[in-house]
Structure 1
Amino acid sequence: MTSDDRLSYRRRKIGQALRRYREERNLTQDAAARLVERSPATLSAYENGHRAVRPRDLRQILDHYGITDARERARLLDLAAQGRKDGWWLGYQERTDPFIVDYASLEGDASRIRSFETQLIPGLLQTEEYTKAVFSAYDSVRPDSRKGGAASFRMARQRILVDAPPRVKWIIGEMALRAPVGGREVLKRQLRKVLNVTTAPHLSLQVLPLNVGAHPGLDGPFSIPDIGTDGSTSVVAVHSLVRSWFIDEATSIGYYERAYEALSFTALTETESRNLIEEIVFGL
């Protein structure tokens, strides 16, 4: 992945918007290119997310298309500005999953992150030894030449909790607190870290108990970062064994947000959650 290939989510969102504006005006790409004073190839690259657009150029295109909605303009210009920033994650582009690098860049610009995890402690809360135990569990089924940078990358992601902290809320399934990933002592140290880190006022944690039965998170873990200075852009990140992807259709995001609210309502309170974790640590 080259520097021009990074932050593809932001470029894709801007490109989708530019294509929609053009089509709403019944313009061909050639006609639109003449209107916005760009070559057809450049406009096509913007619309397909293959090329980053500078905020100054994007502002001119929005002017030519007659986009006056202040909130929409601010959202797109914010995405364009973020996409041109160099971040710590760039050094990992050749060593770990490109999706995770892209996701980390979104984390770094998030004002709020909502995370639901069923079987594992969330990555932003993991100890390094716990992380390595998780990755090693896949050695026999998914050898990956980029694995060497994965653990250090996950540890580096945790800096956002201190350096430029967004508000983060985690809902964790009780099974994640009891599964002896890495062994009993590794789990004990991991749970102590969870307790220590989540004392910060901008962080919160709830536990979904085992006895809750059916719930709207049965399909598995997901996270919802709200991107931008005002959190005007939300996206859902979903991971599976073979691929990860972003969901950004408004109706689908709404479904996940409602599911998250229902999970939060069903889960233990923050105080009850901490008490449960302390009980588990004491029993290890």
Structure 2
Amino acid sequence: MERKATLIREYQSILFPGLIQTPDYARTLIRARRPQAPDEEVEELVAARMGRLDDLMQRGATLWVVVDEMVVRRPIGSAEILGAQLDRVTTLIQSGAIRLQVLPLENHPGLCAPYRVVALNDRRNALFLENARGGEIVDKADLVTEMSMLFSAMQAEALTTRGTLELIQAVKGQIA
């Protein structure tokens, strides 16, 4: 589905999306989910994850991410890994490669599981609902519309780009 995307709108409540993870952040997550996996397999999975954003950008697709504030604050692996992840996100935002907004900790419409709404190159939209085993693709128009509207509501409640960058820098200052 990602290979046919022209626009991906992704909400994450727990982690930074795989598309924008650093190698160490991704490696830590993969190791946590697959503690028995051989190093070679883990490194193959990390490498595959690292190339996805470049592929998306080369096709001219847009990535718009909304994350819960805890995503920015949650140390995955170590403070150093989180700091490097925050640096990467800052660079991606400032370069215009992605749009990313943070939903403040207060109650907000994003109190739900992670998902992404994907606009495909054949003018259809699809929904990817994440779960512990990966996720499922849904193309029921009413559900896709509902989740698109929820994403729009989250965008409206989220911090601006400037506010998001200020929060990221404040968190970096706290973990340094």
- Shared fold (TM-score greater than 0.5)? yes
SS in 1 for 2:54: helix
Matched, 1:275 2:163: no
Question: Kindly, what percent of the aligned residue pairs are identical?
Answer: 26
The answer for the alignment partner of 1:207 in structure 2 is 102
Task: Using the TM superposition, give the Cα deviation of residue 161 of structure 1 relative to its aligned residue in structure 2, in angstroms.
Answer: 4.5
The answer for the alignment partner of 2:113 in structure 1 is 220
Is 2:68–2:110's contact at 8 Å kept on the other side of the alignment? no
Alignment of 1:30-41 (within 5 A): none
The answer for the alignment partner of 2:54 in structure 1 is 159
Which residue of the other structure, out of 116, 137, 144, is the alignment partner of 1:253? 144
Which residue of the other structure, out of 122, 139, 149, is the alignment partner of 2:17? 122
Higher relative contact order (CA 8 A, sep 6+): 2
The answer for the alignment partner of 1:189 in structure 2 is 84
SS in 2 for 1:115: strand
Aligned length: 173
1:207-265 residue CA offsets vs partner (Å, 9 max, x unmatched): 0111x21x33222110111010xx61110111211241011100000110111011111
Alignment of 1:136-147 (within 5 A): 136-139=31-34, 147=41
1:65-102 residue CA offsets vs partner (Å, 9 max, x unmatched): xxxxxxxxxxxxxxxxxxxxxxxxxxxxxxxxxxxxxx
CA distance in 2 between counterparts of 1:200 and 1:168 reads 13
Which ranges of 4 or more aligned residues in structure 1 deviate by more than 6 Å?
A: none
The answer for the alignment partner of 1:63 in structure 2 is none
Unpaired runs of at least 5, structure 2:
none
SS in 2 for 1:112: strand
Cα gap change, 1:252/1:144 in structure 2, threshold over 3 Å: closer, same or farther? Answer: farther
Q: Which entry has the higher C-alpha Rg, 1 or 2?
A: 1
Matched, 1:175 2:62: no
- TM-score computed with the length of structure 2 as normaliser: 0.90
Give 1:156's aligned amino acid.
G
- TM-score computed with the length of structure 1 as normaliser: 0.57
CA distance in 2 between counterparts of 1:225 and 1:280 reads 30
Which residue of the other structure, out of 117, 124, 130, is the alignment partner of 1:239? 130
CA distance in 2 between counterparts of 1:219 and 1:118 reads 7
Cα gap change, 1:205/1:137 in structure 2, threshold over 3 Å: closer, same or farther? Answer: same
More strand by share: 2
Task: Using the TM superposition, give the Cα deviation of residue 167 of structure 1 relative to its aligned residue in structure 2, in angstroms.
Answer: 1.3
SS in 2 for 1:137: helix
The answer for the alignment partner of 2:156 in structure 1 is 265
